[in-house]
Amino acid sequence: MSANLQGLMTLPHIMIVGIGGTIASQRTDEGFKPSLSVKRLLSYIPEINNHCTFETTQLMNVDSSNLQPEDWEEIANYLITPLNSERFDGIIVLHGTDTMAYTASAVAILIRDVNKPIIFTGSQIPFSVFGSDARRNIIDSIRVIRETDFAESLIVFDSRVYRSVRTTKLREYDLSAFETVDPFPVAEIARRIEIIDQTIKTRSKKKSYFDGPLNPQVALIRIFPGLDPKFLESLSEFGYKGVVIQGYGAGNLPMLNRSLISSVGYLIKQNIAVVITSQCVFGRTELFLYEPGTELIKLGAISGFDMISESAVIKLMWALGKTDELSKISALMQENLVGEIYPFQHKSLREEQQRYSSENNP
């Protein structure tokens, strides 16, 4: 029976997990600080009791800028139990917006076979402040669990449903904080929930499991004109095992003055995995397209396809948690795990890259 039909007969039972963030903040002499518990937040929305039953856990209560990869692992590990319990129909994680896309993406990558919806939401305005968007975002999250069969790590914000691994925070002030790099969000929430992306995974009886750990020794570098190549090479001195480089356009790096090409080669010789992405928000890496990219392919750089920075960094941490062999890391990075690479581009980009490699390495 579909979730939306079942919801008409029985109320969904939801696990609601508190992490902190703006949604739980109150004003202090030092500025807004997370202090409200999940139970207290929900007590301000008594009408939700007519639409679901729930249990709460205050796993953390911090500003999301303080979260680290070790915290993502703790959150993902905690969610395994409610995912595999028949008592729960879904999970809502109340989280700060600054690093919500990171945590939601980490959960998507760390948990295999997600069998019910994991909804991340929060607010741009604290619940304690008049005009807060928290109430609407929480209600929308409950509706997604009640009215759909979704079974992925998702972000619900400003009446839209986003796939976490394809979503970034673009706006600090606007209530529409997040944006997908796909043509459209997964769904829009209005009088009913309009499903736009038909590739969304649905509920199953599979058992979810933790697929870690993460190796946090990964750097993220956005190149710019004037960047000293020695800075890039110095990453090896600080124990980094991988680096995601945001190149220009299709993944291009300078190869004349202050060339970074040889620096990439230096890092790879030090057994440091180098992933090239595009610093364009709406862009993709096509290393076989221009001369700088072809040089990077020859050196052994890994294409990030059209992964956003959040997903690429976390995925590289995940790959390094499994192996330190560059060829295996490359294979893992170019596998589309949970939709972090746009599926309609993934096949064609891999075919183009393989064709280029075969033609130039007979």
Residues noted as catalytic: 22
Find the angle CA(34)-CA(36)-CA(38) to the nearest 5 degrees: 115
- Residues 346 and 339: their CA atoms lie apart, in Å, by 10
DSSP assignment of 312-328: HHHHHHHHHTT---HHH
Q: What is the sign, positive or negative, of the torsion defined by CA atoms of 75, 55, 121, 343? A: positive
* Bridge pairing between strands 178-180 and 31-34: unpaired
Which residues share a beta bridge with 51? none
The residue type found at 39 is: K
CA atoms within 13 A on the CB side of 39: 5
Enumerate long-range contacts of 171-174, CB under 8 Å, 24 or more apart.
173/124, 174/124
- DSSP class of residue 345 equals H
The one-letter amino acid code at 217 reads Q
Q: Which residues contact 11 (CB under 8 A, 6 or more apart)?
A: 51, 52, 53
- Both structure tokens of 360: 């130039």
Q: How many CA atoms lie less than 13 Å away from 67 in the CB half-sphere?
A: 26
